[in-house]
Structures are given as C-alpha cells and as structure tokens.
Amino acid sequence: MAWLEVLELNKMYIACAIVSYSLNRFLMSVKSWNYSAHGLNALYMRFIAHSLQCYALYSVLVVCAEMLGFQTHGLGLTLLTSGSVIVGFSTQDVLKNFAAGIVIIFTKPFEVRDKITVDGKTGIVIDVGFFTTKLKTPSNTGICVPNSKVAAATLTNHSDNYGVLKTGMHRITVPIFMRTTTDLALAVETLKKVGLEMDQWLRQKNEDVKSKQGPALHVAHLHRYGIKLELDQDKHPTKVNIIGHHMTAGFEIELQCFCNFQLHRPVFNEAFQRTVKALQLAGIELFDSSTRERRLIEKEGSSAGKTKRPVEIENCGEVGSGGGRARSRSPRR
C-alpha cells in the first residue's frame, strides 16, 4: 500500500521518465541526414537526446529511492550546488570526458556522419555522447574513443574544410603508371575523354542518389557549404595532371575527379575501371613491375656470367708467419 502511495505522489516523475525515454529513443532513431534536410544540426539533436536519457534515469532513481524510504526532496538542487564535490572529482577521467563532451558539442569540430581521424583511429562519426565519441570504420567495426582524447588530440576532419573554401567537393585521385615508351600525348588525350565521361557519370550519380535515397545529401551539402551540389559539381570538372617520370614506375599521370565525400569509394572505383578500359582500347600498356624485375634479373645474370681475371695466391713466407702475399698472374698458355 505504501508503494502505491509513493507512486501516486511521484506520478509526475514517472510521467517525465516515460516521456523523456520515449523522446530519447525517437531522436536517436532519426538519421542524421534527415535532421540536415529539415535544417537541424544532428550533433545538437544527439546532445538533446542524451540529456533526455539522463533526466529519465534521474526520475527513475528518485522514484526508486522514495519507494525504499529515502527522502529525495531538494536532491536535484543539492547536486547542482555541490561545487566542492565537482572540484574534488575534477581530476577523474569520468568528469574529464564529460567536460570534453560538452566542449565538443558546442565547438563542433565535426558533425555526425563526418569522416575523422583522431588518436590514430579513422572512421565515420556515429554518435557523440557525454563521455565517448563513437566511430564506424569502413570494415563496419565500431570504435569508442574517450571524449578527453578527442578534445586533446590533433583531429583531422576529412569531410569539412571549416569554411576556408566555399565548396564541398573532395578530390579523388586515380594514379596511373605507364611505360616510358608510351605515347604521352595519346595517353593524355585518352584520359581527357575519360574525364568528360566521368563528369557526365557524376551528374547522373548525384541524381540517382537523390531519387533513391531522397534529397538529404543535396540538402546537407547546401546547408554546410552554402552551394547546391549540382552547381558545385559543375564548377569542378575532372582534370588530368601529369606528374612526370617516376624512377621505378615509368610515366606517372593522375586523373582527378571531384565529388561529395560520401561518394568517394564509388567514384574511385568507376574512374579506375573506365581509365584502365580506355587505355587498353587505345593500345597503351600500363607499367608492370614484374616485367621490370625480370629485366633486372636478366641483366644481373648476364653481368655475373662475364669471366674475371684469375688471381693466384703465392705463399712467400713460412706457414703462420703472416708473410703470405697475393699477386695477379695471367693464365699460362
């Protein structure tokens, strides 16, 4: 009977716990690009979701404490004003991670769905909590990095240039190595044709993503970089860059494509396949390292087969006296 009275007295906490937990689950289930499509910041929404989760947990603890006979009136105010407790534990790793999480959320060195490298780990940001930042690698492996390391270490954001350039295009480089006997002019002309084909393919790819996955990618691109994806794509056509002569790999040429960072892998795969096919049709051979190694072995073998002038050793002193000496003699005829 006493428990029913406690539940009746704390029905507000119970309702808040249910509502907070339900909102937390809903906000966490929404994809980050859906937030961007509605002009919302996914990082802030994840922070609100985690805050609701903490409040739901606090409400449940209050109700449980009341049911066990503990007085909890004024508990929240006591925790908030207990500065001495916070100072006493400020050197602990848990509070360091909590403070670093607040700094990350408000300084925004990255956003959800960004590709970052921090503390030697590279992956896509999935979630930023109060204590840890969660990443997902290309091999679908999860990485949990403490916020204190994220805030203190040097961080590389592969998805954002922090507004230095008003573009969201990322350069995708396809390196090509050719034999030194290759007609360089023909190779460059062939790659330029591949570049024109890739520009058309990229425009179609952006439209396919919009039709199959919705306008989230296009909206996020406009929201972050201030330029439409289609216009940004047209301003960055594919280029051919001649690097020069590589000492061990022949001529080196790069095909440079530009795309949104989320399309990095499919763009590289398409560009590489088109490049190899076009060069083969043009009769241009790519550099083969096994051929070069075979030639080096044959050259070394021919050098080793040459006869050397024989050297005879003549002992001109007593054994063990160290008086032996060597001199060169021509072979007797």
pLDDT in tens, 134-155: 999 888 899 999 988 998 888 9
Half-sphere exposure of residue 76: CA atoms within 13 angstroms, side-chain side: 8
Separation between Cα atoms, residue 211 and residue 213, nearest integer Å: 6
Separation between Cα atoms, residue 208 and residue 268, nearest integer Å: 17
Half-sphere exposure of residue 110: CA atoms within 13 angstroms, side-chain side: 26
Specify the residue for token string 């509605």: 38
Q: What is this structure's pTM?
A: 0.62
Residues facing 156 on adjacent strands = 117
Q: Tell me the average confidence (pLDDT) per consecutive run of 10 residues in the chain, 333 residues long.
A: 64 82 82 70 79 80 73 58 53 76 85 88 88 88 90 87 81 91 91 95 91 79 85 93 85 93 90 94 84 53 51 41 43 44
Separation between Cα atoms, residue 297 and residue 301, nearest integer Å: 6
Residues in the chain: 333
What is the side-by-side strand order in the sheet with 115-118? 142-146, 132-136, 121-128, 115-118, 155-157
- Write the CA distances from 329 to 222, 314, 332, integer angstroms: 85, 10, 9
Q: Are 150 and 100 in contact (CB under 8 A)?
A: yes
Q: Are 45 and 30 in contact (CB under 8 A)?
A: yes
Q: What angle do CA 158, 164, 169 make, to 5 degrees?
A: 50
pLDDT of 91 reads 53
